[in-house]
Amino acid sequence: MYTASAEGNVITTEHSDAESLAWTLAMRARTTRITRATAAPNLVALLNAEGRRDCIAAPLFADGRVVGVLCGYDCSGPEGFEEGELAVLETLAREAAGALAKGSLLDEILEERRKLAEIVEHTSDGIVTMSSDGKVQLWNSGMEEISGYTAAEMVGAHGLDRLRARDEAGLDVMVDRWASGVEIPAQLQIIGSDGATRWLAASSTPVNDTDSRPHLLILVVRDVTRAHEVERLKDDFVATVSHELRTPLTPIKGFAATLVESGDSLSAADRATAARSILKQAEHLERLVVNLLDAAKLERGIDGEGHDAIIDVYSIAERISSEFRSAHHDRVIILDGETNCRARGDELFVGQIMSNLVSNAIKYAPADEPIEIRVTNGESGAEIAVTDRGPGIPQSEVERIFDRFHRLGNVLTRAAGGTGLGLYIARQLAAAVGGTITVESALGEGSTFTLHLRHPARLVAVS
């Protein structure tokens, strides 16, 4: 409770559970004047207890209920002005009640603004506000995380010039001209501070002033780079698989139709050629299906058990090279290295990895160049290196060639075909057996893919 003294000083007293004069007058819910001569005995007792001669009181109303009381004590105004004093007090009480309501409303507004500021600052979505002249006014922490640019760098800047915003067609989006009617697309491509491309799902809301003129743009974005990449991979998958399935089926149908329609008139050599072509294309189709199934299994995760046996690396390399020599009579496949080479891993997985690496080398290397397989005991474990003398790999593509469905863009690799799954599967299987795959390549000089496996556990004699 706050009380003003005759000197104008405000004195704060603690609220007491005991019934006070002010509390009793507030409960009457009407403007009241009490004196020792006219008041009821209980009110007189409260006046005496508080050392007061008289009192005038007016309740404070808010939403139809009493929220306080305005009291004047020991009044010394001119006689005959009693009713005027009550009217003035009532007016002051209404003003005081209005001030309390405004103060309470202001507190609520400030609290809501604080909550809104916290939401804007801590949401993972990027939020940008832009004035009608295209200058950034707000750049929240979510936008800092997405773009790599801080609020200090962007607030006051002109539009999203630094981010080089573009639409899905690759055309520039002049976000700063939103007030002139430029539409903000639902998908935005930007360049972050690290130079990486990111895709954003964007939602924009223009706000007009009281004269219906463009005043503010609120832009909310979400980083959907990963989802956009997945969608692109799906499209690549459909396009790749559709093409790769048709490629072997065309000659299979053609040669099969020839054998059915003209088999009796063909020479034995022509029938054998047709049969070998059908077999070759069927094997290609089988590899495609196996690769797709393997990729699907890898996406679901590999069982971590049963892949840590001691294996004979040279024996696996010998088997794989022999299989490829039988399947590709026109290719030279050279195997050398240390015959006594063991490692920890899974024989089936390591064989699949080698098969994919050799198949990749045959696919991209010229037909008159040999494929070299070398098995060695390295410092950290067994190593199997597969070398071709193909076109080589640009440095910028060295890591990307292990991505799903990724194929190099040059003419030689397009002519070679393939699903872009072989190296992806090889690396995933290598990780499953605790190994790694590295690549060394130079344009025009070929490439060497090396599978690194762990040493087998060594038993130490203890006497």
Cβ atoms of 167 and 188 within 8 Å: the answer is yes
Q: Of 95, 120, 145, which closes a domain?
A: 120
CATH of the domain at 247: 1.10.287.130
* 286 and 193 both lie in a single domain: no
| Structure tokens belonging to residue 55 | 């009192």
In a domain, 30, yes or no: yes
> What's the pLDDT score for residue 279?
87
In a domain, 457, yes or no: no
In this structure, are 313 and 394 located in the same domain?
yes
Q: Work out the average pLDDT over 309-337.
A: 91
Domain assignment present for 461: no
Of 79-93, 261-275, 388-402, 448-462, the poorest mean pLDDT is in 448-462
**Domain C-terminal end among 192, 223, 254:** 223
CATH code for the domain of 9: 3.30.450.40
Residue 338: domain span: 309-452
Laid out side by side, the sheet with 126-131 consists of 136-139, 126-131, 214-223, 197-208, 187-191
Distance CA 44, CA 54 (A): 9
Bridge partners of 2, per DSSP, are 12
> Which of 117-121, 180-184, 260-264, 372-376 comes out lowest in average pLDDT?
117-121
pLDDT value of position 217:
92
Instruction: Work out the pLDDT band at 336, boundaries 50, 70, 90.
Output: very high
Structural domains counted in the chain: 4
Task: Answer whether residue 432 shows pLDDT above 90.
Answer: no
Same-domain pairing of 67 and 194: no
- Contact of 60 with 23, CB cutoff 8 Å: no
Q: Is the pLDDT of residue 412 over 70?
A: no
Among 94, 120, 146, residue at a domain's last position: 120
**3-class DSSP state of 385:** strand
Residue 314 in any domain: the answer is: yes
**DSSP-derived 3-state class of residue 31:** coil
Residues 380 and 412 in one domain: yes
Residue appearing with tokens 């790999």: 393
> Based on the domain organization, do 354 and 387 belong to the same domain?
yes
Range with the poorest average pLDDT among 144-148, 253-257, 396-400, 456-460: 456-460
Q: Residue 130 in contact with residue 159, Cβ under 8 Å?
A: yes
Does 422 lie in the same domain as 388?
Answer: yes
CATH classification of the domain holding 159:
3.30.450.20
445 shares a domain with 350: yes
pLDDT > 70: what percent of the chain?
Answer: 83
Geometric angle at alpha carbon 178, from 177 and 183, rounded to 5°:
115
Q: Does residue 327 contact residue 287 with C-beta atoms inside 8 Å?
A: no
**Where residue 7 falls among pLDDT bands split at 50, 70, 90?**
low
> Is 60 exceeded by the pLDDT of residue 3?
no
With 0.85 as the threshold, say if the pTM is over it: no
